[in-house]
């Protein structure tokens, strides 16, 4: 026999026996998992995309409709302050303050 220790001989025999159990089929890459093609993650992803697309379409419709209104086509002119000496432009008479002072405070 050889000069090897009995422990080394036993280890080599165990490794050799274990190596004989492995075949080329065991070393080939694993096949991808098979099963349901539509999982809950995929369904959630499709639903979230549909919700986002619907929200974007609704926002686009609101923006298009709000930009085409006649009120928004021209900017609003600034407000005019009336002076106390200016005559009213409309034909409606202005209320005249009474000469009697009020007693309420």
DSSP letter, residue 24: H
Number of domains in the chain: 1
Residue 49 falls inside a structural domain: yes
Beta strands in 1-105 (DSSP E): none
Distance separating alpha carbons of residues 64 and 69, to the nearest angstrom: 9
**Residue 52 token pair:** 């986002």
Residue 19 falls inside a structural domain: no
Model pLDDT for residues 49-88, shown as the tens digit of each residue: 999 999 999 999 998 888 766 555 567 778 887 766 655 5
Q: How many percent of the chain have pLDDT more than 70?
A: 67
Q: How many percent of the chain have pLDDT more than 90?
A: 33
Of residues 73, 53, 51, the one with CA closest to residue 61: 53
The domain of 56 spans: 39-69
Count CB neighbours of 65 within 10 A. 9
56 SS3 class = helix
DSSP letter, residue 72: G
């Amino acid at each position: 026999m050889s000069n090897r220790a009995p422990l080394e001989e036993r280890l080599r025999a165990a490794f050799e026996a274990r190596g004989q159990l492995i075949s080329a089929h065991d070393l080939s890459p694993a096949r991808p998992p098979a099963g349901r093609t539509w999982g809950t993650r995929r369904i959630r992803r499709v639903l979230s995309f549909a919700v986002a697309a619907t929200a974007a379409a609704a926002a686009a419709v609101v923006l298009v409709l709000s930009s085409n209104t006649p009120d928004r086509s021209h900017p609003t002119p600034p407000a005019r302050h009336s002076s106390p000496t200016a005559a009213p432009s409309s034909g409606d008479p202005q209320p005249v303050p009474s000469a009697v002072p009020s007693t309420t405070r």
